[in-house]
Amino acid sequence: MRIGTLLGENIRISMSAIKSTKLRTLLTVLIIALGIMALVGILTATEVMSNGISAEFAEMGANSFTISSRGSYVRINNKEFRTKTHAHISLRQAQEFKAHLGFPALVGISAQASGSATVKYRSEQTNPNISVYGVDKDYLSVAALGIAQGRNLTAHEVTDARNVCLLGAHVASRLFGQHISPLGKLVGVGAARYRVVGVLEAKGSGFSSANEQVLIPVTSLAVHFPRPNQNHSITVLPHRAALAEAAQAEAEGAFRMVRRLSATDENDFNIERSDSLAKLLMENLGFVSLAATLIGVITLLGAAVGLMNIMLVSVAERTREIGTRKALGAKSAYIKQQFLIEAVLVCLLGGVLGVVLGIAVGNIVALIAGGAFMLPWGWMLTGLLISSGVGVVAGYLPAVKAARLNPIEALRYE
């Protein structure tokens, strides 16, 4: 009971001492809060963005992979030079691969016709930043794109190269608004006119380019978007996630046969998993988190030095008070406890303020980047524990100095 009474008394005295030096306490609290804010804020933002990236790639089908043509490069003095151009992937090769892949998987074919097209409907038109892709009927499934209105392209429309198209969500909204149905309307894409048969579901802001696109039959590229050696991409989505590795190996062998490669020839094409970009983005976010941690630690080290200096000054200013308490029977351990509690309380005030500011700043940045609001309970607790640790480290030396004061010398001070 007496220990609890002494602890309560020390907390009361510490609070009184903190209130008596408001300016110094405020400056220390702000320094600690800045360190915790930098740490919690950036880590909150990166965690929100990491969750968003994971969700977006999950929607895209993280188990799919894409076969594309490649070139060989060599880097000299930080400059990259193309040394070999491999054969493009023709539509015939893509269709042959799709027909002969003996594996339970869905195969979609696509090719980019333009990345800066303007789409028109009567007097309305989009900015010249619309991507136009030629696709087959299975492309939507492998690319995890849904239909909001209308229907998908049919096999006959692709085979016959008919002038039909699917509009991205933003393209449809820009041309037709909210009250006019795009279905059945004729829109101008490049020099041709296409009848709208469907509108794609809107994608998250992290992949807003999916909303700024028009999909046409892949067979119509040669007619309306002629390009020598048009290159195609093949996306494969296994029926089961557990078959992803086996599907990739099977697809590699099948496409080597399509390309007429011998056993000694190296691959003249790339196979990339759809989650490889997600892993790269996660790694980059990891570097940002490391930088945030270093910034926060450096700031907190500065705050610890400042707090230690303030506590040493406080010990010098309160020498007579310490002598009086010792003369009345206070033990050295309780004097040390008092100053440690005072340092920890100051740091906790800074930690609470830093956590609140960090959550606010981190979520604001994340919301601007298209993430969703979240409360990082783990980082909140970590921030408070770190600030408490800073208080113990910064307050230990002044507390020991106060505890070792000779009561007689302390009473004669000044």
Q: How confident is the model at residue 154 (pLDDT cuts 50, 70, 90)?
A: very high
Q: Would you state the pLDDT for residue 372?
A: 67
The string of pLDDT tens digits covering residues 235-289 is 998 888 778 889 989 999 999 999 998 888 888 888 887 665 666 666 767 777 7
Tens of pLDDT, residue by residue over 282-304, are: 676 777 777 777 877 787 777 77
Residues 308 and 365 in one domain: yes
Whether residue 270 is found in the same domain as residue 121: yes
Give the bridge partners for 25, in sequence order.
none
| 218 and 338 co-located in one domain | no
- Running DSSP on this structure, what letter comes out for residue 78? T
Predicted pLDDT at 76: 45
Q: Which of 274, 307, 333 is the last residue of a domain?
A: 274
Residue 71 structural domain: 65-274
Residue 112 sits in the same domain as residue 221: yes
408: confidence class by pLDDT, cuts 50, 70, 90: low
In the listed set 240, 274, 308, which residue is the last one of a domain according to the structure?
Answer: 274
Q: How many domains does the chain have?
A: 2
Task: Say how far apart CA 26 and CA 344 lie, in whole Å.
Answer: 14
Q: Is 144 helix (H, G, I), strand (E, B) or coil?
A: coil
Domain match, 73 and 165 both: yes
Based on the domain organization, do 155 and 255 belong to the same domain? yes
Q: Are residues 204 and 74 in the same domain?
A: yes
Both 218 and 300 in a single domain?
Answer: no
290 and 315 housed in the same domain: yes
Domain stops at, among 256, 274, 292: 274
Q: Are residues 226 and 359 in the same domain?
A: no
Asked if residue 132 has pLDDT above 80, the reply is yes
Q: Closest by alpha carbon to 34, among 396, 291, 287, 297?
A: 297
Quick one: 378 and 312 in the same domain?
yes
Output the pTM of the full model.
0.58
**Do strands 213-217 and 130-135 pair parallel, antiparallel, or not at all (unpaired)?**
parallel
| 152 vs 22, residue with greater confidence | 152
The CA-atom distances, in angstroms, between 60 and each of 54, 139, 147, 280, 321 are 10, 12, 14, 16, 68
Selected residue with higher pLDDT from 324 and 178? 178
Determine how many CB atoms are found less than 10 A away from the CB of residue 324: 14
Query: Distance between CA 306 and CA 347 in Å, rounded?
Result: 11
Are 112 and 251 contained in the same domain?
Answer: yes
